[in-house]
A and B are shown apart, each in its own frame.
Chain A
């Protein structure tokens, strides 16, 4: 069974640009969540989607957005990039219906560098 796939693996952008990151969940997983990881703040929750709807949102500005498609694939977008957006962006998928017992399966992330 293929794992969670995130593309691209690395990305370099300049301030003010926008970026779109992609996540393909494990087959059969309908919940997708996104996390930002930085050395200073650790892993921080961005948002969660299932059934093409945002279900939970973390404490990030509106420049961070996402969406989920009918095949459960998800994208996240960051507009008007700032230097502080440089981070590892991680996507995780999980099964629905298992509540708090459902393990999250993470991809290896997209490393975004903003210059």
Chain B
């Protein structure tokens, strides 16, 4: 699977928008961009995924660059409960729910 690169950490203020970047310069045409987050003492939780177009759901928005070499996860109003490690990963359609390669992720801190 192609690799992703994320900053180690970011800080945000409560109730402000947060933009979490991810670079995936070696992405292939069939790779989907997925985001997961992991709260303390829990397993990772699915957040959102996309292929080419921007995506919105109740948790977040995903903005994908036109060349697909980068993407940004947008939390519209950060809350203290959003403090977590956020992972950007790529998944390829191989027929199986193939192994995922998680990087170190971004540790998001939210200030009250």
A positions within 8 Å CB-CB of B: 4, 31, 33, 35, 42-45, 48, 50, 55-56, 58, 90, 92, 94, 96, 98-109
Contacts and interface: CB of A to CB of B under 8 A. Distances in A.
A75 to B, nearest CB: 17
Q: Nearest 5 A-B pairs (CB), nearest first?
A: A106-B43, A43-B102, A103-B46, A45-B99, A100-B91
- Majority SS at the chain B contact face: loop
Contacts of A90: 43-44
A92 B31 CA distance: 20
B37 to A, nearest CB: 11
Q: Is the interface of A mostly helix, strand, loop or mixed?
A: strand
Contacts of A105: 46
Interface in B72-112: 87, 91-105
A90 B45 CA distance: 12
A103 B32 CA distance: 11
Given A100-B31, A100-B94, A109-B43, 11 more contacts: A33-B100, A42-B104, A43-B102, A48-B99, A56-B98, A100-B98, A102-B97, A103-B34, A104-B46, A106-B44, A108-B41
B57 to A, nearest CB: 11
A100 B30 contact: yes
A100 B43 contact: no
22 contacts: A33-B100, A42-B102, A42-B103, A43-B87, A44-B102, A48-B97, A48-B98, A50-B96, A55-B96, A56-B96, A98-B97, A99-B93, A100-B30, A100-B91, A103-B34, A104-B44, A104-B97, A104-B100, A105-B46, A106-B44, A106-B45, A109-B43
